[in-house]
A and B are shown apart, each in its own frame.
Chain A
Amino acid sequence: MSLNSLLDQGVTILTASRRLAHALKLGYARHAQSQGRQVWASPQIIPWSTWLRQMRLESRAASTEGSLAPVLTPAQARIVWDEVVGNSSAARDLLDPSNAARMAARSWRRMQDYLIPLERLRDFDAPEAQALHTWCEGFLQRCEALGAVDETRLAQWMLNSKFLPPAQVALAGFDVVPPAMSLLVERWREAGLIADHSAATTATASVCVVGAADADTEVELAANWARAQVERGVATIGVILPDLQTRREAVRRTFEDVFAPGSRQVHGVPASMPVVIAAPAALSDYPAVDAALLILQLATSPRTSTHAGRILRSPFIAGGDTERGKRALADLELREQQRDRWDWFELERWAGMMGCEQLQLAARALTTLLRGDLGPATASQWAERFYSLLRAIGWPGDRKPNSVEHQTREKFQAALAEFGTFDAVAGRLTMKQALRRLAELMRDTPFEPETATAAVTVIDAATSAGMQFDALWVAGLDADRLPASVSPDPLIPLELQRDAGLPEASAGGVLQMATRQLQRWKAGNSVLVLSWPERAGDAEFMVSPLLADLPKVAADVLVPMRTKTLRQLAFETRPQLTALLDDNAPPLTTASARGGARVLELQSHCPFRAQAELRLGAAPLPHVGLGTAPMDRGAILHLLLAEIWGSLGTQQALLAIDDDSLAERVREAAARHVAHTLQPATRYRSRLATLEVENLVRQVTRLLIQERSRPPFSVRFAETEELYRIGGLTIKLRPDRIDELTDGSELLIDYKLGDSHQPRDWIDVWPGRPSRPQLPLYGLAHGEKLGALAYVVLAPGTVEYRGWSNGVEVGAGVSQYPTGLRIDFGDPQDWEALLHQWRFSLTRLAERFVAGEASVDPLPLACQMCHLTTFCRIHERASAESVGESDDE
């Protein structure tokens, strides 16, 4: 008798999975409609585990003597397992105790299903078996203490209590009936309470085997085939894919590409295609839920800048849309400031400073709550607390939710409610513990937004057990996967598994499962396509030997027409691109520019970069690093030396001061500037700041000692601004230091932290293009008085002067140009020529900047230090991109 006729008779069907119950209900509805019925009593189709619970409930209600212990929900049982395993000595060394708990729970279930007595584990001394034994005992004890049982033991309870179902039942979708269940079934059958049904009613009309180039192509073929079936009017179509869970999104995209190619772009209506992809994602993977967890995490403990940034950019917070620009800039700014510890109080303040009023308001509401009592509490109390925190910040945002978001929110609340049930097993929790448990629950909660019933079901093999389709495609049937390799339970001793008949544990069992599965596919579906990927990467696969005798067909024959994806079609119909020479920005209208000497440096490195960075503001996106940012380090050094020389004034003063007081002065100033600039907010940052001070003191003292042995000089001014006009551009100059030498000439100094700086960089690399024109520019500005230029390098291990002079005596490291240098052909031959080159090159650079010259023309290696490749499109040059385009004038 068929399933549907059993249902007609009111037999209750117990299914292997919830999804199968659903599918059978739909099947019955079709059956009823095909008989012309418009209404019918809903068929009784219940997942086996749900039914067990129901029967337990009813027995309890009916029983007169003492009440039956309550049954833990799977989530509750998981908490118990977690505790038992996590607190065991066996788990102390484990990398992942939480997963071990999961595994133990699975092994426990298997032992119940296959009637492996717990004591048997004692006979084995493999650490796996022993750990499992300890854990299971711990679990049982804990259950006892809670006065509860777990779901896996319900079948045993039925056996012991000689339970009989109230009416006839039938089973569906059990490929493998484990002994615990088959004992029950046998007993019920004797009592006449089992209705048998024959699965195979439809003989398969056509079977074929097809090879696909690889797994992706396989999905593509299946999707196109499914589309053809739908077009042909086939009512139910199944596509069984391996690893569906991990490939879910890719599979969804492929089916969209095939069924609704036009929807794959922002203006396309989100596809409502007749396809259901039966693979739920974790609830925590949904952006709204992820945002909720981010919000709560930040409420629990300080977090990194990237965490704060993600909250700032989240649309799931009040004002997330209207303030999106400001919040993005706020994120930018916090990166700029290199602050790496954030909490909601800080963020509230920050929002205020950055003009994000709505965020500030919402954050204030949240921090008000945070100031309240958030001490240890039960899970259910935490559920309410968490929810009110989320409401305070305006989660899930003020955008009109779409269907998925709406359902996500409802599911989130349902999960919160489930979280409340942890009261029974978890006791009081701190905020951190509670949030960790909640996050775990969200990760463990599968969620799939509801869609309309559809003709095509994409599903994995295990879940599809018991389902029947008018047409079915099964993919992934290569020799490695059908039959699979043996994969026994890792904790239960192999011997026990084999004795108990766990099919996964022996080659014979696995082979038998595979054969049976294949038979089921062949029996239940009128059209059947079996496919396999011919290769993965560069490894070649073979078709499953079990398919050897079935008729083969070529992919092109089976699926002659393939839908073109949007991407393909757009490419194939692409127009010829036009090309436009566009390497000039509008000329500068004001004669000044931000950036000081950097203007000329960038213009020299690459004209495009100068224009993009200085005029269009195309700055790099800052990244908050672990240590002190080089920028900050530079700033501190400058401040420190400016202060020291500001107070000393002359070398004489330096010579007059004794070592100890000098060191003292340096240390005091260094500590002050470091503290002020870095404002360390965490322990490790304060420690780094201290190291920074040490380092500064070391280096600066070393420098000052060198300065003592120079010929006499006085520091005219340090760190002040000068205006200089060159090539039509007024540039603000801030030389680090100017020393007046005995002959009245000046030495210009630039402090450098890197060891790589060399005076050579002042000479043109290409005509008119020096790589470091900054000091030469200062030099020009000081015209007649210029006697020498020098870098003062303060790198680890190196503290020294590096510079050139016109011959005036400056001290070690600064020599008369070009003494001791290897002068290449074309380099200036003497000091005068050098000045001339500078004047010429720098004037030209300034003129070009003013003119808006913006060609993509980098000096060698300039691109390596530049963040603009996406903007300037330099990579088009290296590739064959320019082939065949028409000019556009």
Chain B
Amino acid sequence: MSSDAAARAAALDPRRSFIVQAPAGSGKTELLTQRYLRLLANVEAPEQILAITFTRKAAAEMRQRILLAFAAAADEAPQSPHKRITWDLARAVREKDARHSWHLAQHPSRLRIQTIDALNAALARRLPMLAATGAALQPTNDASPLYEAACRGLIERLGDGSAVSANLEALIVHLGNRVDRLAELLSGLLAKRDQWLHPVIHARASENLRAVLEDTLRGVVDRHLAVLCKALGDDRVGELLELIRYSAGNLLANDALAPARKPLLESCAGWSSTLDADSRCLSLWRGIATMLFKQDGDLYASVSIRQGFPTTNQDFKARMQRMLKSIGAEPFLCEQLAGLHGLPDVAYAPDQWRIVEALLEVLPQAVAELQLAFQSHGEADYVEIALRALRALGTAEEPTDLALAFDYRLQHILVDEFQDTSFAQLDLLERLTGGWDEGDGRTLFCVGDPMQSIYRFRQAEVGLFLELQQRGLRNIHLEPLRLTANFRSAAAIVDWLNRVFPAVLASQNDPEQGAVKYSPSVASVVDRAGQVHVHASVNADDATEATRIVAIVSEALQRDDDGNIAILVPTRTRVDAIARALTLAAIDFDAVEIEQLRDRPVVQDLIALTRALVHLGDRTAWLAVLRAPWCALTLADLHVLAARDTRITIDEALKSHVDDLSADGRVRAARTYDVLSAALTDRGRWPLRTWVERTWNALGGPASVSRPQDLDNAEAFFRRLEEIETAGDLEDVARLEAQLDRLFAHPRPQAGARVELMTIHAAKGLEFDTVILPGLHRWTRPEDKELLRWTRIVGPEAGMVLAPIKAQGGQADSIYRWIELLERQRVLRERARLLYVAATRAKRDLHLLGNAEAASRDNETALREPRKGSMLRLLWHAVAADFEAAAPASAAPLTSLPVPPQKLRRLPVEWTLPVLTPTLGATSDPLVDIAPPVPFDWVTHTSRHVGTLVHRELDRMSRTPEAISVTTLTAARARLAAELAELGVPVDRCESACDRVITAIEQILTDPRGRWLLGLDRQVREAQSELALSGVINGRVIEGIIDRTFVDEHGRRWIVDFKTSTHEGGGLDEFLAAEVERYRSQLLRYSQLMALFKPREKVHAALYFPLLRIWKEVDLGLATAKPESKPGAEKVPGQLSLL
């Protein structure tokens, strides 16, 4: 504690900005929490502080800590002075809270602690115009279809005569006409356009781009040469010049010289000026490097005529030997000289330049196409949201008024995990702090550990941390602080780290190379036992290693009851052997996002089933479904079904050939087909996921898996399926498997096994009692080719270098290769940091497992140095001895055991679905009857609305009988037309519809029957229009609206429905009969309601057709039957339903 007391105290000063380097286990979160509390006490509103975390988890944790501290401050002050600091800080916040009525305790979401993604999304959402989004963007987890759509859109422009088309063509030709490859490479670039978009647009805009780029290149080369010359000293430079001239001359004299080597040698031999630290001498320098180094990069130990030093001139040969010796003595110099090979040309070759230009044209267009794809799909990727957020913030020079986005003026920003910041995020930070002035009370606080920067694949640039440490952020001076205490690991581990890691990490910080120097820790938990164990093996295979791991795990499990154990791997590949061994040993473990689910048998079965259901023509999938455990037909049976005719679907073959199968096969096929054919008739009735799931359940899918986790794996598959389906179908079934890429299992929260198998990345921020690092000897493949590579040169001569991919089948380009090497260098550096992260997860025991290869030569076993790029190589200086000790006297070569033949796993033929908890029945049946469909046309539609309006008018008239007259109605024509339009009658039909309304009402008013109905001439009793009744019929609540009801002069209760249908031509009787039938059940229902409403009255029902002047009484046969006993065969259109 004491080691950091001063730094920790300083970090709480709310007026100063800091950048804190906090190694693993140094109590970083606590420091952040304390500062946050300190700042809270200093602001007007909590919203004025913004804390940015790397994960949602970290955000949640930080918020929780703050709230706990806040709550605890209500109690007595704690005894421990250490806790007292936090208590004091929180106490001050409580006072502030009370004074300003923040209600923080009730409203913790006021604390603005969020991930960068969430911040971006909030900015884009809150500033839709500045961000030019127009609305909140829906981020998608899988944007690849969008990229593909964009590339397709772009490529479809070929041949349209535009400049883009011409440039696109250049690219296609460059890639050997591989359009799909171009699309793939473009997609890759689109996914990280946040890195190149601005530079590319900037580059396009610059007039003499080529000169600028070549200047930058020249700067790179010159700087390298300057360093080199300084290290060499003038004497040796002069000597080298003489040596190269001499040897080149000799080599040229040789007739057998490979023609490819000639030009370089000629330029060397004929060199007439001096050798300087100048890019113009680059070819000569390269010649010198060739002279000094072997193909494999080692310095020549001796030279002969083959290097151009014949024995005829012993003097030169001796001079050369001296030179080699003196250089060999200086590793730094060696490195610099060897680096000559990697240096880029300082000019672009014409072909390459043409491609650079083409790319600069095409890439912005690709982005434009992408925006169109976003528009038409209604979603965007996270990159877009980040870009939009940046845009919303304006420029660092002209920042947006942030009060718009943050409700309050932003006072303080805290950034966690700063080592994993990308250029784009740095941009964001620069703009957020754009208007800040030194001493205006606003502060920035960055915390992180460059040694733990491991997110290159998310564009983290560790160099930025180092830069900020040195120079601060634009106009903000950042005071560097460094923590050293380690509150996590046992002293033995901390000591080991301090001893071993200085050599694993770099000796110097180098932002450009991404190199970070080791910063030692002080063990601060004194009483924790534990140590580092090296398990060296030689010429062993994965299975052996897995066995070893099982032993370590078992022992650790036994040793105590609650210690947790993590097996950490750098990449997800190759964990199968470990998982299998643990399963066999019956050790319960959680695999955290580590198993590619696509490869799990349960998911394979589901893939087959999905494809088969979606596409009947997918033979492979159908055969796979028949081969899966639930059916498991033999090859003989499959043969009967599939080999005869490959031009019919298996579905049809099953139908027609099932009788030809073996007895067992017949039962199995029938059972499966029964399910599949039922499923097929259901196509388009379920969401795809549900459809597949129902089928899988019926087939016995869940009964044929072997591990409980497989149910979770199936669930993960189903979820992905849900994400990618469109309306119960797949866009393209052939892409299903590709869309399942990177699908991982998420253990359910309640799982909680003591052993976890996860990637090092996933373990970031966690700690375990025992940490096991297997497979240290493995290396990773270098990154894929990119269509365009670029790198930013940091530092005073900052600039940008771009290089396009080499032509398909063409020569590698030196500029491209230089960037690639630089990247590879950075990858290697990160690998070392990954190892640091892994090792520092351990509290007590750290187990290192690796394998070295040994070869026997002349009865002696020699260990081969581990492969470059492997972690074991990085540790080799510390562990080589262990491996030497483990090496057997004579090494047997690796042999793998023969694989036992694969057997067909089958669900027993008699299997049936288990009996389930009974369904809890619904209270009543669905309400809807399936009437034959009425076709859609405006005539039918309009006449319905005419009817509605007629009712409405009659209702109005009946309320004010004195106003009844056709003239008033005709006067209201405009109003009627408006009402018809509002009801949904197309404008150009309103006039004629209006006529019909008026006619209908006229007819009623002139028809004696109509007048009677309306009670105009004779008095009728209890007349009501649009009477809405509800009641219970056959145990169900129904509602009806009765057009017209009254009791006539004979005491009869009438229920009348108005129908404004018209009918032309013959067959009027049939028409009327049909209408009666059509409305019979409705009238019946009304009558039943009425019978309940007026139990003593006898109900009569009728239809009235004013336009036809026809009155049609309907006999409902109600005379004797009581309503309740009437069978409610017909279903009621759901009046009680939502419209």
Contact = CB atoms under 8 A, between A and B. Distances in A.
Contact of B982 (A70, A687, A884): A70
A488 B407 contact: yes
B545 interface: no
Interface stretch (A179-187, A448-456, A721-729, A742-750): A448-456
A156 interface: no
A284 B218 CA distance: 59
Contacts of A648: none
Interface string B681-705: 1111101011001110110111111
Interface in A263-278: 263-268, 271-274
B1031 interface: yes
A577 B61 CA distance: 46
Contacts of A583: 635, 901-902
A357 interface: no
Contact of A249 (B599, B690, B1138): B690
Contact of B708 (A26, A571, A797): A571
B978 interface: yes
Closest 10 CB pairs of A and B: A797-B809, A627-B179, A796-B176, A99-B135, A100-B134, A687-B159, A617-B646, A290-B727, A39-B1031, A380-B986
Contacts of B600: 875, 879
Interface string A445-463: 0001111111100000000
17 contacts: A95-B388, A99-B135, A126-B404, A259-B920, A273-B921, A313-B615, A329-B616, A332-B617, A420-B938, A450-B1138, A507-B103, A571-B703, A577-B908, A585-B639, A684-B157, A795-B809, A880-B707
B1136 A26 contact: yes
Interface residues of A, number: 219
Contact of A875 (B175, B604, B734, B918): B604
Nearest to A72: B982
B1021 interface: no
A755 interface: yes
Contact of B682 (A250, A266, A582, A622): A266
B559 interface: no
Contact of A570 (B126, B135, B903, B913): B913
A223 B584 CA distance: 37
A1 interface: no
Contacts of A796: 175-178, 807-810
B623 A612 contact: yes
A799 to B, nearest CB: 9
A176 to B, nearest CB: 18
A868 interface: yes
B1029 A41 contact: yes
Interface string B97-133: 0000111011111100000000000000111111011
A393 to B, nearest CB: 15
B134 A103 contact: yes
B158 A798 contact: no
A300 interface: no
A688 B604 CA distance: 37
Given A25-B1136, A571-B702, A452 B1030 contact: no
Interface in A259-316: 259-268, 271-274, 284-291, 306, 309-310, 313-316
Interface in B585-607: 599-601, 604-605, 607
Interface string A493-519: 010000000000001101100000000
Interface in B657-695: 675, 678-685, 687, 689-690, 693-695
B907 interface: yes
Given A407-B928, A623-B734, A611 B635 contact: yes
Nearest to A99: B135
A328 B617 contact: yes
Interface in B627-645: 627-629, 632, 634-636, 638-639, 642-643
Given A95-B380, A265-B694, A582-B635, 9 more contacts: A268-B698, A420-B984, A485-B109, A545-B108, A579-B906, A626-B151, A627-B172, A857-B899, A873-B628
Contact of A41 (B407, B689, B1028): B1028
A584 B106 CA distance: 71
A684 B642 contact: no
A373 interface: no
A173 B981 CA distance: 31
B929 to A, nearest CB: 9
Interface stretch (A198-206, A464-472, A561-569): A561-569
B938 A95 contact: no
B748 interface: yes
A213 B380 CA distance: 31
Nearest to B1027: A41
Contacts of A260: 919-920
Contacts of B988: 378, 380, 423
Given A41-B1029, A450-B928, A623-B734, A618 B128 contact: no
A42 B809 contact: no
Contacts of B56: 536-539
Interface string B347-377: 0000000000000000000000001001100
A550 interface: no
A424 interface: yes
A721 B45 CA distance: 86
B868 to A, nearest CB: 23
A822 interface: no
Nearest to B751: A213
B580 A128 contact: no
A310 B636 CA distance: 34
Given A539-B60, A545-B108, A626 B183 contact: yes
A483 B107 CA distance: 6
Contacts of A686: 159
Contacts of A249: 687, 689-690, 722
Contacts of A490: 125-128
A268 B172 CA distance: 54
B561 interface: no
B1031 A507 contact: no
B1029 A39 contact: yes
A404 B974 CA distance: 40
B627 A262 contact: no
A483 B106 contact: yes
B734 A227 contact: no
A566 B975 contact: no
A328 B616 contact: yes
Contact of A870 (B132, B604, B1041): B604
Nearest to A325: B649
A881 B703 contact: no
Contacts of B159: 683-684, 686-687
Interface string A132-174: 0000000000000000000000000000000000000000000
Given A325-B616, A621-B733, A876-B601, A483 B902 contact: no
B1134 interface: yes
A760 B990 CA distance: 83
B635 A266 contact: no
Interface stretch (A344-352, A383-391, A708-716, A782-790): A383-391
B473 interface: no
Given A324-B616, A417-B941, A450-B927, A378 B986 contact: yes
B170 to A, nearest CB: 10
Contacts of A451: 922, 926-927
B217 to A, nearest CB: 25
Contacts of A885: 903, 905
B936 interface: yes
A413 interface: yes
Contacts of A26: 1037, 1136
Contacts of B925: 272, 452
A325 B684 contact: no
A675 interface: no
B160 interface: yes
Interface stretch (A114-122, A652-660, A848-856): A848-856
A440 B1059 CA distance: 35
